[in-house]
A and B are shown apart, each in its own frame.
Chain A
Amino acid sequence: MFVTVLFALLFYAATAIFLAGIGMRIARYARTPAPLKIPTTPAPTTRGGVVLRMVTEVVLFNSLFKANKWIWIFGIVFHVALALVLLRHLRYFLDPVPAWVVMIQPFGKYAAFAMVLGLAGLWARRVFVERIRYISSPSDHLMLALLLGIGLTGLAMTYLWHVDITAVKLFFTGLMRFDFNPLPAHPMLLLHLLLVAGLMIIFPFSKLLHAPGVFFSPTRNQVDNPREKRHLTNVKWMVRSEKPAASADQ
Chain B
Amino acid sequence: MANFDTPELTESDTVEIPALKSGVMSHSKPFVSKEQFQEPLGFPGELVDNWKDVAVNKLGELLQTNRALQVFMDSCVKCGACTDKCHYFLGTSDPRNMPVARQDLLRSVYRRYFTLPGKYFPKLVGATDLTEDVLDQWYSYFHQCSECRRCSVYCPYGIDTAEITMATRDIMNAVGKGQKYSNEIIGKVFKIGNNLGLPQPALEDTLLGLEEDVKDDTGIDVRFPLDEKGAEVLVVTPSADFFAEPHIDGLIGYAKVFHAAGISWTLSSHASEAANFGLFIGSGENMKRIAMRIREAALDLGVKRIVFGECGHAWRVAYSYLNTLAGPFDFLDPRYPVPQHICEFTYDLIQRGVLTLDKSRNDHRRVTFHDSCNVARASRMGDMPGGQFIIPREIIKATCNHFYDMAPDTIGEGTFCCGGGGGLLTDDLMELRVKGALPRMNALKDVVDEHEVTHMAAICAICKSQFSKVLPYYGFQMDQIVSVHQLVSDALVLDAKQ
CB of A23, distance to nearest CB on chain B (Å): 15
Interface of B toward A, CB cutoff 8 Å: 17, 19-20, 40, 63-68, 70-72, 74-85, 95, 98, 100-101, 104, 115-117, 123-126, 149, 152-160, 163, 190-191, 193, 270, 284-285, 288-289, 292-293, 296, 319-321, 323-325, 327-328, 337-339, 376-380, 385-386, 388-389, 413-414
Chain B residues with CB under 8 Å of A226's CB are 319-321, 323-324
Chain A residues with CB under 8 Å of B159's CB are 217, 219
Provide the bound-state CA to CA distance between A75 and B81, in Å. 11
Beyond the given pairs A32-B63, A131-B84, 8 more chain A to chain B contacts, judged by CB atoms under 8 angstroms and listed by A's residue number, are: A57-B158, A63-B154, A134-B98, A139-B126, A207-B74, A210-B76, A227-B323, A250-B190
A237/B378 in contact, CB under 8 A: no
CB of B414, distance to nearest CB on chain A (Å): 8
Q: Does A140 contact B (CB under 8 A)?
A: yes
Q: Which of A39-47, A88-96, A148-156, A179-187 contacts B (4 or more CB under 8 A)?
A: A39-47
B101/A232 in contact, CB under 8 A: no
Q: Does A205 contact B (CB under 8 A)?
A: yes
A32/B65 in contact, CB under 8 A: yes
Interface residues of chain B: helix, strand, loop or mixed (majority): helix
A-B contact count (CB 8 A): 229
Closest to A224 in B: B380
A132/B80 in contact, CB under 8 A: yes
B157/A41 in contact, CB under 8 A: no
Closest to B290 in A: A245
Q: Which of A6-14, A66-74, A157-165 contacts B (4 or more CB under 8 A)?
A: A66-74
B71/A217 in contact, CB under 8 A: yes
Closest to A49 in B: B385
How many A residues touch B, CB cutoff 8 Å? 71
Interface of A toward B, CB cutoff 8 Å: 25, 28-29, 32-38, 40-45, 57, 61, 63-64, 66-68, 71, 75, 122, 125-126, 129-132, 134-140, 142, 202, 205-207, 209-210, 213-214, 216-220, 224, 226-228, 230-232, 235-238, 240-241, 244-246, 249-250
Chain B residues with CB under 8 Å of A126's CB are 78, 80
- Among the listed A32, A132, A206, which residue makes an inter-chain contact with B67, where contact means beta carbons less than 8 Å apart? A32
B284/A61 in contact, CB under 8 A: no
B70/A38 in contact, CB under 8 A: no
Provide the bound-state CA to CA distance between A240 and B363, in Å. 54
Provide the bound-state CA to CA distance between A81 and B80, in Å. 21
User: Which residue, of B19, B67, B284, B385, has the highest number of chain A Cβ atoms within 10 A?
Assistant: B67
Provide the bound-state CA to CA distance between A241 and B284, in Å. 9
B68/A217 in contact, CB under 8 A: yes
Closest to B83 in A: A131
Closest to A53 in B: B158
Provide the bound-state CA to CA distance between A87 and B481, in Å. 57
Q: If A45-B385, A237-B284 touch, does A37 touch B321 (CB 8 Å cutoff)?
A: yes
CB of A38, distance to nearest CB on chain B (Å): 6
B67/A227 in contact, CB under 8 A: no
User: Which residue, of A42, A206, A237, has the highest number of chain B Cβ atoms within 10 A?
Assistant: A42
CB of B77, distance to nearest CB on chain A (Å): 5
